[in-house]
Amino acid sequence: MLDLKDKKLLILLQNDSKKTTKQLASELDLSVTAVFERIKKLERQHIINKYVALVDKTKLQKSFIVLCHVKLVQHKKEYISQFEKEITQFSEVLECFHVSGDYDYILKICVRDIEEYREFMVSKLTNLQHIASTQSSFMIKEVKNSTVIEP
């Protein structure tokens, strides 16, 4: 079970994982050793899975974001497994969600522009088997983007 210090520690790390244990200890009013041990415990429990660098999509010229809804021809287990295995191989796909409703999957795709998206659709996505249809929505403006989950 997480106590209040663990929860605050998780929020601090999610906002800036490059903070030193000394900085974190100061903000949490704990010793450096106590903070270090708490972090190790959270890692062992797989509450903290990994540390990443969040990059600016615009500076990498990859700011064209597409939400693509995908419908499979049937909900057969083999079709689902094959689609999920294949879709994870595409670097353009940042996220893939198996969802309820009219479509089976929602993909978050990050590319340079509409031309690169068309190339992705033509050469990659539509080459996958068992896709019945797709529907694409293009991001106009990013209103909120957060990776922080409050425990």
Spell out the domain ranges in the chain. Answer: 4-45, 57-138
The radius of gyration of the chain's CA atoms, rounded to the nearest angstrom, is 20
CATH code for the domain defined by 4-45: 1.10.10.10
Q: How far apart are CA 145 and CA 61, in angstroms?
A: 18
CATH code for the domain defined by 57-138: 3.30.70.920
Q: Is 137 helix (H, G, I), strand (E, B) or coil?
A: strand
What is the pLDDT at residue 121? 97
What is the pLDDT at residue 85? 97
What stretches of 4-121 adopt beta strand conformation (E)?
Answer: 64-72, 93-98, 105-111
What is the pLDDT at residue 2? 95
Same fold, 4-45 and 57-138: no
Residue 146, both tokens:
């957060």
- Could you say which residues of the chain have pLDDT below 70? none
What is the pLDDT at residue 95? 98
What is the pLDDT at residue 105? 98
